[in-house]
Structure 1
């Protein structure tokens, strides 16, 4: 299969390319498209056979549910059995945007989409290309990130092509994703609304609206044995570059000292070392390939750069990446959720 890439500079002037993608969706095919979070790999969410092609292209396990993307608020009504008032409040406040809500699904949603669960994850993306594609397709679109399963999520069309060239027919290139991390997933079927996957809509933002919100323990720890995967991104190892990732935790100066010592040790063993630093620490590293996420005072900027930095380490051919721990408030919680899974929870205390 030849994978074509169509550049979208403007949804109006380039509407023919989006229409072509919509026709593929209507015909039961998969298409990669941009959202404000990461690039998604989409298919008709109401067509189980089409959805199966997502799993095949990604090499994704069937027990990992997908998110259903919609373009209008009223699209939710036929996809769920019940809609709590709190969910409606969140939709008004944060949609379109990087917030996914888990709700009781209707009979229209195939089990393939939800991994057999009786709940469905739904969001309305903020990207104009994504919204127009869903509108033109005339169906909700099920879409995980458009990468090979377990690999670092894609934030550019080139990232998608690197992973899925020859496996999918079309990529809509809408430029670099703004948020850079997948959406927050909030379980609205729990007794207390529970964050299963942190993202750009933070715990602090949600508590401001809802009052009481819980963060599932699996956000920063491995999933408990036998715990159902109710949300994408809950698997043990995820978001990983080709290199081994190790997170170093401690006070800032202690982290720098420990990472410098580890880098020196690994380089002596003949390994190529990468260091994921911040603006505050970048000048203190003596060896290795140093990439900078951003300033610790701007966690949203660091979040937007995380996946592209991990993929850059792939391009640099490093064997191991040492990453600094980030404070888990605001977008920092989402950063550490992705970083710990990329590291398969390998953490060294400084």
Structure 2
């Protein structure tokens, strides 16, 4: 059984650090989602992370450090762009892809010559980092492909008995994974949208490209440059279909589908339109932060054996945090979307 530790207890924080220092793995809270952490410089530990998650080995991991001063431990150079972003957004939900040092195992980077690094904005995680004394690789603490965990209870649902411990730091405040930007490209390239928006990146860096994988699928033979780019992610067992268009048209179209037990994932304001169906809301359409915080919990709520398909309502807006929410829903749907015809 996995031990449940509490971030409010210094002795539990110390216990989590001791597990990591001794070559074990443990789930830790961050502001984005819970991460399954282990020594990023130990290939055997990294292998244990992949095994616990059932994660494909060509899907690179993010390395977490306690401060920008720790970057030289894992990267060959720290360009001015990285320092500018760190000044603006670290600690915080931003990951930078930089040239890696040889000390970082291939298993962390999926064989790439780059490594993804960030400083998390969660005091308990940084306290564990400082006490463990090593950079920590920490993908989301869930079974590969399933919705990311935003509470310790989500972690236990997926990994109880598969890992030694989870440190409970309460619900994650952002709720979607970090933004990933590749600083080895010219211009820099957004690989995954998250808690730092494209608009915020451009305010610091100027021109920033958007990788096609943000809105579409990678080819089967492509190696992802960042977590979350290649495989079907964030998904319940039942297939997900994004239904776009006017809410009344969408509700009429969903009701006409020959599904035995459909579930509807929608905005708070749309619940009445789908009345009588199995409805789960995940936040307000006018509050992207609430959508980000509620999305993965809602996807887990519809992950029930009786549900045969999930019809999801997705933000049409691609600005700010809406872009991250839209990306996660489209990934959960394997980029399958329809537009409900007008009546």
TM range (shorter): over 0.9
Task: Give SS of 1:207's match.
Answer: helix
Task: Give SS of 1:255's match.
Answer: helix
Residue 49 in structure 1 maps to residue 38 in structure 2: no
Task: Give SS of 2:303's match.
Answer: helix
Residue by residue over 1:39-64, the C-alpha shift from the partner in whole angstroms, topping out at 9 and shown as x without a partner, is 00000011111111001101111111
Task: Give SS of 1:121's match.
Answer: strand
The structural deviation recorded for 1:315 is 4.6
- Tell me, in whole angstroms, the C-alpha distance in 2 between the residues paired with 1:337 and 1:101: 19
Residue 273 in structure 1 maps to residue 272 in structure 2: no
Residue 290 in structure 1 maps to residue 285 in structure 2: no
Residue by residue over 1:178-227, the C-alpha shift from the partner in whole angstroms, topping out at 9 and shown as x without a partner, is 11100000001111111111101011111111121111111111113433
- Aligned position for 2:5: 6
The structural deviation recorded for 1:107 is 1.4
Unaligned runs of 5+ in 1: none
- Tell me, in whole angstroms, the C-alpha distance in 1 between the residues paired with 2:165 and 2:155: 10
Name which of structure 1's ranges 320-329 and 140-149 shifts more when overlaid on structure 2: 320-329
Residue 341 in structure 1 maps to residue 334 in structure 2: no
- Tell me, in whole angstroms, the C-alpha distance in 1 between the residues paired with 2:246 and 2:80: 43
The structural deviation recorded for 1:22 is 0.8
The structural deviation recorded for 1:136 is 0.6
The structural deviation recorded for 1:285 is 1.1
Task: Give SS of 1:321's match.
Answer: strand
The structural deviation recorded for 1:77 is 1.6
| Cα distance change, pair 329–259 in 1 and its aligned pair in 2 (3 A) | farther
Q: Tell me how large the CA RMSD over aligned residues is.
A: 1.3
Contact kept? 1:26, 1:137, Cα under 8 Å: yes
- Tell me, in whole angstroms, the C-alpha distance in 1 between the residues paired with 2:148 and 2:314: 20
- Tell me, in whole angstroms, the C-alpha distance in 1 between the residues paired with 2:137 and 2:291: 28
Correspondence 1:141-180 to 2 at 5 A: 141-180=136-175
Residue 131 in structure 1 maps to residue 126 in structure 2: yes
Residue 80 in structure 1 maps to residue 38 in structure 2: no
| Cα distance change, pair 143–212 in 1 and its aligned pair in 2 (3 A) | same
**How many pairs are equivalent?**
339
Unaligned runs of 5+ in 2: none
Correspondence 1:1-350 to 2 at 5 A: 2-8=1-7, 10=8, 14-262=9-257, 265-266=258-259, 271-315=260-304, 317-327=306-316, 328-350=318-340
Residue by residue over 1:245-268, the C-alpha shift from the partner in whole angstroms, topping out at 9 and shown as x without a partner, is 111122444333323333xx32xx
TM-score by length of 2: 0.96
- Tell me, in whole angstroms, the C-alpha distance in 2 between the residues paired with 1:259 and 1:129: 44
TM-score by length of 1: 0.94
